[in-house]
Amino acid sequence: MASDVYGQLVHTSLGRQVVTGLGLPNPATLRRYEPGDPLLPGAAVVGGLGTAPLADRVGGLLRRLGIEVLDKAPDEGRIAAVVADLTEVEEPADLETLRALVGPALRRLGPSGRVVVLGRPPETASSWAQAAARRALEGVTRSVGKELRDGATATLVLVAGGLVAGGLVTGGISAERTIGGDPTVGDLVTDDGDDDGGADGDGDPVEAILRFLLSGRSAFVDGQVVRVGARSVSRPADWSAPLAGRVAVVTGAARGIGAAVTRVLARDGATVVAVDVPGAGDALARMANEVRGSALQVDVTSPDAGARIVEHARTRHGGLDVVVHNAGITRDKLLANMDPDRWGSVVDVNLGAILRMNEAILDEGGLRPGGHVVLVASIAGIAGNRGQTNYAASKAGVIGLVGAMAADEGLRARGITVNAVAPGFIETEMTARMPLATREAGRRLSSLAQGGLPRDVAETVAWLSQDANAAVTGAVVRVCGQSLLGA
Amino acid sequence: MGAAPRRAAILGGNRIPFARQNGAYADASEEDMLTAALDGLVARFGLAGERLGEVVAGAVVKHSRDLNLTRESVLGSALAATTPAYDVSQACATGLEATVLVANKIALGQVESGVAGGVDSASDAPITVSEDLRRILLTASRARSAGERMRALLGLRPRQLVPAVPRNAEPRTGLSMGEHMAITAARWGITREAQDELALASHRSLAAAYDRGFFDDLMTPYLGLTRDENLRTDTSLERLAALRPAFGRGEGATITAGTSTPLTDGASTVLLASDAWAAERGLPPLAYLVDAETAAVDYVHGDEGLLMAPAYAVPRLLSRAGLALEDFDLVEIHEAFAATVLATLKAWEDERFCVERLGLDGPFGTVDRSLLNVNGSSLAAGHPFAATGGRIVTSLAKMLHEKGPGSRGLVSICAAGGQGVVAILEGA
Ligand SMILES: NC(=O)c1ccc[n+]([C@@H]2O[C@H](COP(=O)([O-])OP(=O)(O)OC[C@H]3O[C@@H](n4cnc5c(N)ncnc54)[C@H](O)[C@@H]3O)[C@@H](O)[C@H]2O)c1
């Protein structure tokens, strides 16, 4: 991992003076999740518009976790988060509620605070005014992300499905259930319609998202919009080990982001099959042993890679629940000077190999029903990047693939979710090889004014690997500190 | 055979690439290398934190401080610290003998799983002091006063400070292994050309095995090395023919550096288990260790070649098993020298040798050369003495698994001291 000299420098008092003098952004130390951490380090303001059905549920969740819930910003002291339920916006004038709730709260928001706005998808609005108001939430949230300081982040969650008091229901199926024996709190129930992949449906799809967004797991996710589909989800027996009993395969696991993903999935309870090229076998073995998983030395571009992965997971660990396609390479060159080798190897490792491996992985006897596929895209695949036509082609392709797979009727019927993370600037050997100026720009041109760590991407991958999060599919979640690129 | 209560399965193995002496592993200790080989095995089979029945390994050239080399390596590895271990040593047959020992305990039900291995460093060799110096130092250390100690040390002479490096020579004959081999090669009329051809085949077969990814699940890179450092992909008969003889005199000088194994650093491990243990972990057996035999020859007074013991061990083993050479799908004969393999093959085809020395009715048989050392052997891979057995057993087990259940493989390893250990593997 490249040492962030600038980041360390500004934490000395002399360094801070220099930085403030120059007007350079002062990167905060982000709150990152450690096992045992509370969901939030302080109180949360929770409110909303109208009956604010989700606010009730969120408030209940936070109280159960022992977090103080306030209905408006306090006059003094710090709060850790503000959650605003705007699911009932009907017209632009309703947005005043958002300003009145969130605005004052921002002044009290502590370091690495969280702003979460809950809304509904504009596409399903019943009027033009409603569509406009719903979409307006995105503009607000992204701007709040840029306004926030000190490692605080803002996210908009768009919840599909119908909402009624006491539950989240679609298609007229109303269900009143309780979570985990707590009779005072109803849960959120999404539709249990035709694309249920065997999830037992007693979970709250918004809970998994809030547990991610409010915690230190989402440290580098900022200014994003996350969509929750209408699907029932199960809930883990133990939220500190949401992947317990699951078998996960991570490609490119020997170092960088893949190594971090391996660690985080294992921490969350998964048994990890760590895959990397034979040449990286020693680092791979160390990773596999560290997490008590197993190592599989295979080049993802080899024709039998998918079959070998499936075979290994099935014979050794009894099946496969999560696949993280993380292996990736860069071979930068301006397109004007690009040779077929650089072009072909990047496209094949980053995209072609995934398509080929998926044949075996998604075949009979491969990924279990209700399983999760997570791909690793890049903001270069969204924004493009000079000298990275091949890389951007592969990563944009990954995004296209996620969309197609998530929409696939067969996969939906099996309850398989397909999502991607799109890392921004992450401190790894890949980015350590960049020219200094590009590297510095990559770090600073974001709301959080720093590079992310591999574990930030890993936390997002782990969240997308949870059964409790199965209502999220087809998402491309940027882990970029709200980078200005492609935003 | 058949008497064994149950079979010992070979589930796989792991080795680090072999390095030339003073090459990539110049600064690695034997404990470092054995630990690395163990950790790669543990990762491949998902055994981190597990207690295995036993780890048995050894080194031929060993520092005295490494008296508990294998146990120390286990403690430094990802295995549970509660995994017992012991060291064995039987010269170049150490790795194969360790495999037999583990397999026997599994067959007897004394352990359910175990690792056999071996390691050797020719770079990090122990240096011992001359015998005179050793005595002086011991006397000095026993001294009761400073004066006495001084007096003892005053007996030192500069010549005594020259360290004694372990030599590759037989203590009872004073001849190096190469010199012994040259005598045997001359006796059997092994030509320079035949030796060069065998060496070339070894390099070519090993290179081809790498190219088709054969070692992807048998090896874990170490200290930047991803292939055996000794492997020459560009060697040719012309190049081999141009080498000056290294051993033997006159007409009999047929052995070159190209047809002798180089001094090498490396380590290897083999995972063995009962069928039940393997099934519980979803680890498919590659092969079973069926039976083994050790022979020794009297090369000091008895007019037999130092490295000819396998020529005796194999017929004894096959007779017990009721098998002939033709019953084997693959044959692995350790290439101590190209001439070792050729002399052994020739002896088995020689009526007189087979009748007079082996007590057979006629020639023992012929090994189909297309089944011999098909992925190369020690001439190309190198020969870190104790690590060779694990290298061969694991590769052979994998090949037999590819051939299918019931396929048969033979392993033969000669060793200093006029010994030879051989074994039968059966594909699973
Ligand atoms: N670092 C960043 O800032 C950043 C940003 C956006 C996206 N990404 C993506 O994240 C992923 C991981 O990147 P990283 O920064 O950790 O890179 P890295 O180079 O540090 O690690 C990549 C790993 O993938 C392995 N790998 C490469 N080709 C392989 C193959 N053919 N088969 C199996 N394994 C192979 C490598 O051996 C290595 O261990 C990549 O897909 C990359 O494109 C990284």
Kindly report, residue by residue over B289-311, the tens digit of the pLDDT: 999 999 999 999 888 999 999 99
Q: How far apart are CA A312 and CA A366, in angstroms?
A: 11
Lowest pLDDT segment from A87-96, A144-153, B142-151, B398-407: B142-151
| Tokens linked to A28 | 């905060």
Q: Give domain status of residue B38, yes or no.
A: no
Which residues in chain A have their CB less than 8 angstroms from residue B284's CB? Answer: 315
Q: Which residues contact residue B28 at a Cβ distance below 8 angstroms, ignoring those fewer than 6 apart? A: B36, B121, B123, B124, B222, B223, B265
Within 8 A of A288 by CB-CB distance, chain B residues are 43, 46, 48
Check: CB of residue A81 under 8 Å from CB of residue A214.
yes
Using the beta-carbon criterion (under 8 Å), do A289 and B282 form an inter-chain contact?
A: no
Report d(CA A277, CA A281) in Å as an integer: 7
Q: Does the beta carbon of A277 lie inside 6 Å of ligand 1? A: yes
Inform me whether the pLDDT recorded for B4 exceeds 70: no
Q: Please indicate if any CB of chain B lies within 8 Å of the CB of A278.
A: yes
Q: Which of B51, B220, B281 to mutate to test the interface with A (most CBs of A within 10 A)?
A: B220
Cα–Cα dist A391/B101, whole Å: 53
A286 at interface of B, judged by CB pairs closer than 8 A: yes
**Does a structural domain hold residue B284?**
no
Of the candidates A226, A223, A99, the one whose C-alpha atom is nearest the C-alpha of residue A159 is A226
Using a 6 Å cutoff on CB, does residue A385 contact ligand 1?
Answer: no
Domain-located, residue B107: no
What pLDDT score was predicted for residue A2? Answer: 42
Contact: A298, B216; criterion CB under 8 Å: yes
Average pLDDT taken over every residue of chain B:
93
Q: Is residue B151 part of a domain?
A: no
Q: What is the pLDDT of residue A18?
A: 47
* Cβ-contact B287, B401 below 8 angstroms: yes
- The pair of structure tokens assigned to A298 is 């295979």
B222 touches chain A (CB under 8 A): yes
Of A279, A284, A291, the CB nearest to B226: A279
CA-atom Rg of chain B in angstroms = 22
Summarize pLDDT for B264-294 with one digit per residue, the tens. 999 999 999 999 999 999 999 999 999 999 9
Chain A: give the shortest CA distance to residue B163, in Å: 36
B209 touching chain A per CB within 8 A: no
Closest residue to A278, CB basis, from B42, B216, B222: B216
| Residue B318 dihedral angles phi and psi, to the nearest 5° | -70, -35
Amino acid at B351: E
Q: How far is CA B195 from CA A217, B179, B202, B367, in A?
A: 64, 16, 11, 16
In a domain, B197, yes or no: yes
Say how far apart CA A120 and CA A115 lie, in whole Å.
17
Whether residue B266 is contained in a domain is answered as no
Backbone CA torsion sign across B305, B310, B312, B313? positive
Per-residue pLDDT of chain A (487 residues; tens, 9 = 90+): 344 555 555 555 544 554 444 455 578 999 999 999 999 999 999 999 999 999 999 999 999 999 999 999 999 999 999 999 999 999 999 999 999 999 999 999 999 999 999 999 999 999 999 999 999 999 999 999 999 999 999 999 999 975 543 344 333 323 333 223 232 222 333 333 334 344 456 788 899 999 999 999 999 999 999 999 988 889 999 999 999 999 999 999 999 999 999 999 999 999 999 999 999 999 999 999 999 999 999 999 999 999 999 999 999 999 999 999 999 999 999 999 999 999 999 999 999 999 999 999 999 999 999 999 999 999 999 999 999 999 999 999 999 999 999 999 999 999 999 999 999 999 998 888 888 888 888 889 999 999 999 999 999 999 999 999 999 999 999 999 999 987 7
Distance (Å) from the C-alpha of residue B216 to the closest C-alpha of chain A? 6
Give the C-alpha separation, B102 to B270, whole Å: 10
Task: Tell me the average pLDDT across B197-223.
Answer: 97
User: How far, in Å, CA of B106 to CA of B115, rounded?
Assistant: 11
B215 touches chain A (CB under 8 A): yes
Q: Is residue B12 part of a domain?
A: no
Q: How far apart are CA A131 and CA B90, in angstroms?
A: 82
Q: What share of chain B is helix, strand, coil (3-state, %, to 5)?
A: 40, 20, 40
What is residue B32's predicted lDDT score, i.e. its pLDDT? 97
Does residue B217 belong to the interface with chain A, where contact is any CB pair within 8 Å? yes
Confidence at B164, pLDDT banded by 50, 70, 90: low
Domains of chain A, earliest start first: 27-228 (3.40.50.720), 247-479 (3.40.50.720)
Cα torsion B242, B244, B246, B250: sign: positive
Query: What is the rounded distance in angstroms from the CA atom of residue B159 to the CA atom of residue B167?
Result: 19
Long-range residue pairs from A397-400, CB within 8 A, at least 24 positions apart, any chain: A397/A347, A397/A350, A397/A351, A398/A325, A398/A350, A398/A351, A398/A354, A399/A476
Active site residues of B: 92, 383, 414
* A388 Cβ below 6 A of ligand 1: no
Category of A150 on φ-ψ map: left (φ > 0), alpha (ψ -120 to 50) or beta: left
- For B39, nearest residue in chain A (alpha carbons): A285
- Strand, coil or helix: what is B301? coil
> For residues B146 and A14, what is the distance between their CA atoms, to the nearest angstrom?
59
- How far is B218 from B229, CA to CA, in rounded Å? 16
Among A239, A229, A177, A231, CA closest to A202 = A177
Cα distance between residue A275 and residue B372, in whole Å: 33
pLDDT at A188: 32
Please give the model's pTM, rounded to 2 decimal places: 0.89
Residues 6+ apart with CB under 8 A from B386: B57, B58, B59, B60, B89, B92, B94, B95, B117, B118, B119, B120
In our burial notation (b when 16+ CB lie closer than 10 A, e otherwise), range B166-195 reads: eeeebeeeebbbbbbbbbbbbbbebebebb
Which residue in A247, A282, A320 has the most chain B C-beta atoms within 10 A of its own C-beta, making it the best mutation to test that interface?
A282
CATH number of the domain where residue B302 is located: 3.40.47.10
| Euclidean distance between CA atoms A380 and A329, whole angstroms | 13
Contact A297 B42 (CB under 8 A): no
Contact between chains at B44 and A295 (C-beta distance less than 8 A)? yes
Ligand 1 centre distance from Cα of residue B232 (Å): 32
pLDDT for B63-109, tens place per residue?
888 999 999 999 999 999 999 999 999 999 999 999 999 999 999 99
Q: Where are the beta strands (DSSP E) in A124-197?
A: 153-159, 163-164, 167-168, 178-179, 182-186
| CB-CB neighbors (< 8 A) of B83 in chain A | none
CA atoms of A247 and A103, how far apart (whole Å): 44
Domain that holds residue B411: 177-214+290-427
In sequence order, what are the residues at sequence separation of 6 or more whose Cβ sits closer than 8 angstroms to the Cβ of residue A462? A217, A242, A243, A261, A264, A265, A268
The total number of structural domains that make up chain B: 1
B20 located within any domain: no
Residue of A60, A33, A35 whose CA lies nearest to A114: A33
Q: Are strands B330-333 and B408-415 parallel, antiparallel or unpaired?
A: parallel
